[in-house]
Structure 1
Amino acid sequence: MSIPHFLVHEDGDVVGVVTVEGVKAGQDLNGWVMAEDKTITIKVNNDIPIGHKIALKDLNVGDTVMKYGTDIGKVVAPIKKGDHLHVHNVKTKRW
């Protein structure tokens, strides 16, 4: 595989982190699941800046977002596989 477009740390994670500039809606991205040493491909639904998250599966309001094998928050607006995850659709559970 060439340089991955996004990284996933654990097999149970529901998001990957974009590692390249210029990701545009409609692109097919290659990702690397590091813990399993496997690759996956996802079609992107939105432009996603480098360092932001991409959904690996559909998520509903109230679902837990797992990243690095850790709970990083809850879904506050429906998310489809390939969507951009950020503060507009995920919030911390702390407050």
Structure 2
Amino acid sequence: MSIDFVVHDDGDSVGVVVIEGVEAGQKLTGWIMDQNKTIEFEVKNDIPIGHKLAIRDLAVDDSVIKYGEDIGRVVSAIKQGEHLHVHNVKTKRW
């Protein structure tokens, strides 16, 4: 089995894509490292390597958790398998 994205812990809300060429409609396999388990779902957008994808639905004002850390606030609802980036997540720093 090949791993397409990684997640640190079950409590995280995003994974990081680790392969090139992810395209909308593709079924991906993710590895949740701390629990040593895998998850699978279809992605909704093309996602570049190194970018984040939602591993569960996120509502406006939800916190985005990556590697156990709060990295921002959802500003536009995000469905499982969608790309997370500056268009739907903002920092809480300012």
**Root-mean-square deviation (Å):** 0.6
- Say how many residue pairs are matched: 94
2:19 aligned with 1:20: yes
**1:52 matched to which residue of 2?**
51
Pairs within 5 Å for 1:1-80: 2-80=1-79
Q: Deviations over 1:71-93 (max 9, x none)?
A: 00000111011100011100110
Instruction: List alignment gaps of at least 5 residues for structure 1.
Output: none
> 1:21 deviation in Å?
0.2
Task: Give the TM-score taking structure 2 as reference length.
Answer: 0.98
**In the alignment, residue 82 of structure 1 is paired with which amino acid?**
G
Structure 2 distance, partners of 1:75, 1:43, is: 21
Structure 2 distance, partners of 1:82, 1:3, is: 17
- The structure 1 segments of at least 4 consecutive aligned residues displaced by more than 4 Å after TM superposition are none
> 1:3 deviation in Å?
2.7
Name the % identity.
65
> 1:11 deviation in Å?
1.1
Instruction: List alignment gaps of at least 5 residues for structure 2.
Output: none
Structure 1 distance, partners of 2:42, 2:61, is: 24
Q: Deviations over 1:39-65 (max 9, x none)?
A: 000110000000000101111110000
Structure 1 distance, partners of 2:3, 2:86, is: 24
